[in-house]
Structure 1
Amino acid sequence: MREPFEQAVQRHGSTVLKVCRAVLGPGPDADDAWQETFLAALREWPDLDPLMPLEPWLVRVAGRKAIDVVRVRNRQALPVGELPERLNGAGPAAVEGAGHGVEVWAAVAALPERQRLAVAYHYLGGLPHADTAAVIGGSAESVRRASSDGIRALRRLWTDERTGAG
């Protein structure tokens, strides 16, 4: 028998939020994707197989909900008074004074899409490379490479920030 829904939210909520933030960055869009994930889970709850591992399923749903937000963002034009500066390498200095951990999400969000998704699903969501490949497309090897490249880019960014290199 499956645990009560409220316990599942408490147990897996932080992992789902990590995935949403990794794809969308910190802020209301990630929070909305988190809520949409658990609304979808609540709708499916009575029909879920009690033997199915819940966390990987929630991570997949969260990833899909986050990608839906990205797709909506890309379809909508945003009027602005003046064009913002483009961040080529959002590191810890890119989001000053915004709070603990925000720099990490900004750096992950600045990765190319495939690397960002691979890092989010594999490292933050805990999915194996094969499962991540099933979600974002491609082979397990290509996802392994994308996640490795993403982590390498994050390490290089952090090293450059700390040493003042650039």
Structure 2
Amino acid sequence: MAPEKVVLPPFQALVDAHWRDVARLARALAGPVDGDDVAQRAWEKAFAAYPGLTSAKNLRSWLLTITARCATDLHRARKPQRPLDEAPPVAVEGPDAANWPDPDLWQAVNELPERQRFAITLKYVGDLDHHGVAAALDTTPAASRRLVSDALAVLRSKLGVNA
């Protein structure tokens, strides 16, 4: 028996439906300067992979996962490639919090460890559930919950917010 053929909407329909979500997540993860480049790279990767998809379920989550991975690639490319014991300390710049609404919150988000920062941004800016966050970060939903929970605890502590 032959496998069932997947019927995908035209790629332009996908772009029309989700371009704002991709752009918003890219800016949140990479900042206002690099966000457009990350979004563009995500669309390029999605376009290349689109014909090979085996399922048309949750295309939005698939796109946001690609966007998160493109942002991760950007951040990794900025880091030194030498072994840590040989490398001098280098500050890796993220989004400039002063350019965002509620700069204190975004400054605190920028100071989170990378995986916590990505998890909380995917959850609350990308509006992904823990399965979507887990897929984007290549981890489990339980680990996703823990990353988000830990990030929220750090943010509440830094901002003096009682839970």
**Pair in the same fold by TM > 0.5:** yes
Aligned-partner Cα distance in 2 for 1:14–1:120: 15
Asked if the contact 1:41–1:58 (Cα under 8 Å) also holds between the matched residues in 2, the reply is yes
Aligned-partner Cα distance in 2 for 1:137–1:58: 15
Aligned-partner Cα distance in 1 for 2:19–2:76: 23
Asked if the contact 1:22–1:116 (Cα under 8 Å) also holds between the matched residues in 2, the reply is no
Aligned length: 147
Asked if the contact 1:18–1:120 (Cα under 8 Å) also holds between the matched residues in 2, the reply is no
1:99: Cα distance to partner? Answer: 5.4
Residues 17-69 of structure 1, C-alpha deviation per residue, up to 9 Å, x if partnerless? 23323332x22322111100011112223333462321011011111111110
Aligned-partner Cα distance in 2 for 1:138–1:132: 8
1:86: Cα distance to partner? Answer: 10
Aligned-partner Cα distance in 1 for 2:27–2:104: 11
Partner of 1:15: 21
Partner of 2:150: 149
Partner of 2:46: 41
Distance 1:117 1:38, change over 3 A: same
TM-score, normalising length: structure 2: 0.69
Task: Classify the secondary structure of the residue corresponding to 1:52.
Answer: coil
1:132: Cα distance to partner? Answer: 2.5
1:157: Cα distance to partner? Answer: 4.0
Q: Give the letter aligned to residue 27 of structure 2.
A: R
Q: Percentage identity across aligned positions?
A: 31
- Structure 2: any 5+ residue segments left out of the alignment? 1-6, 83-90
1:103: Cα distance to partner? Answer: 5.9
Residues 101-131 of structure 1, C-alpha deviation per residue, up to 9 Å, x if partnerless? 6665444332211211211222322333234
Asked if the contact 1:118–1:143 (Cα under 8 Å) also holds between the matched residues in 2, the reply is yes
Q: Give the letter aligned to residue 132 of structure 1.
A: V
1:72: Cα distance to partner? Answer: 0.5
Partner of 1:135: 136
Q: Of 61, 64, 70, which aligns to 2:69?
A: 64
Asked if the contact 2:100–2:106 (Cα under 8 Å) also holds between the matched residues in 1, the reply is no
